[in-house]
Chain A
Amino acid sequence: MSDSLQIMKETRQGVTILHVMNQRLIEPRLSDDLTRHLCGLIEGGALCLLVELGSVARISSVFFRSFIMAGKKAKEQKAKIAFCSLQPLIKEGFTITGMDKLFKIYGAEPLAMADLAEKQ
């Protein structure tokens, strides 16, 4: 089990892309780290965050809590958060918890970038 949150960050065409490298997002401690990370980027001026979850095979509800907290912060700062490359089980979790109604969910990353970069 991973002890740390593994994220690769890049910025392209005004979009801050976060590639989450953990296979499992289940540990509550990591969800606190993710909340801090996402909120920190928004507070630091990032206006468009794309969270790429292609490597993540499992995610627990504590991480949906992180996304909601970051979503509230994004709304406050007039920023937006979107997600892409969700594996089937993750997509199911997003649907069950209503995350798909709170955030824009894209298929593959290029599709997300084509849409988000155009709007920047």
Chain B
Amino acid sequence: MIMNLSNKTTSKFSLETAADLDHLGEIIGFTEKTLERLGVPDDARGHLCLAVDEIVTNVALYAYKGTRGKINVSFERMGSKLIVAIADSGIAFNPLQHPAPDTSLSIDQRKIGGLGIHLVRKMTDKMEYMRVGDENRLILEKNIGGKK
């Protein structure tokens, strides 16, 4: 694990660790502590923790297809916004192209998966994806109130 708690003037915190389910708890723990430290209100913290959990779980399950890889999660407060950046070097995957599930279907018709990205979309205010070289970079933005 490489943890870089960088200087307070930019309030940027990042964690790089193995992208597997064994490290999910470590990432979620880091996320909770960092959001608290950045003064993110309780409700927004819950939304962001859930969003990070969904993305990290996706990366752990699918990005490296059984091989080992890393994931980097960083948090930065910019006035009234909280920016989360998640990067991995797994196979290219753009969650923005993932179709939204039809949540109005009956239990017979409902598909089993596809809800994670939908939850992330609903629990954040903006999502951006870039493939840079061999890296997936996902940026999540959440309005958290407070100073602009």
Other-chain contact of A101, B28, B103, B123 (Cβ < 8 Å): B103
Task: Looking at the assembled complex, report how far the CB atom of B66 sits from the nearest CB atom of chain A, in whole angstroms.
Answer: 15
CB-based contact B50/A60 at 8 Å: yes
Q: Interface stretch among B10-18, B85-93, B104-112, B134-142? A: B104-112
Contact of A96 with B by CB under 8 A: yes
Known A-B contacts A58-B46, A60-B50, A65-B113; A96 and B119 likewise in contact (beta carbons under 8 Å): yes
Task: Tally inter-chain residue pairs, CB-CB below 8 A.
Answer: 77
Task: Looking at the assembled complex, report how far the CB atom of A66 sits from the nearest CB atom of chain B, in whole angstroms.
Answer: 9
Contact of B8 with A by CB under 8 A: no
CB-based contact B118/A60 at 8 Å: no
Contacts of A69 in B (CB 8 A): 112
Task: Looking at the assembled complex, report how far the CB atom of B60 sits from the nearest CB atom of chain A, in whole angstroms.
Answer: 8
Interface residue count on the A side (C-beta < 8 Å)? 26
Interface residues of B in 12-70 (CB under 8 A from A): 21, 24-25, 28-29, 43, 46-47, 49-50, 53-54, 57, 61
Contacts of A101 in B (CB 8 A): 103-104
Task: State A61–B49 Cα separation when bound (angstroms).
Answer: 13
CB-based contact B50/A89 at 8 Å: yes
CB-based contact B116/A61 at 8 Å: yes
CB-based contact A60/B54 at 8 Å: yes
CB-based contact A65/B115 at 8 Å: yes
Contact of B122 with A by CB under 8 A: yes
Task: Looking at the assembled complex, report how far the CB atom of A33 sits from the nearest CB atom of chain B, in whole angstroms.
Answer: 14
Which residues on A are within 8 Å of B, measured CB to CB?
1, 24, 26-29, 57-58, 60-62, 64-65, 68-69, 71-72, 75, 88-89, 93, 96-98, 101-102
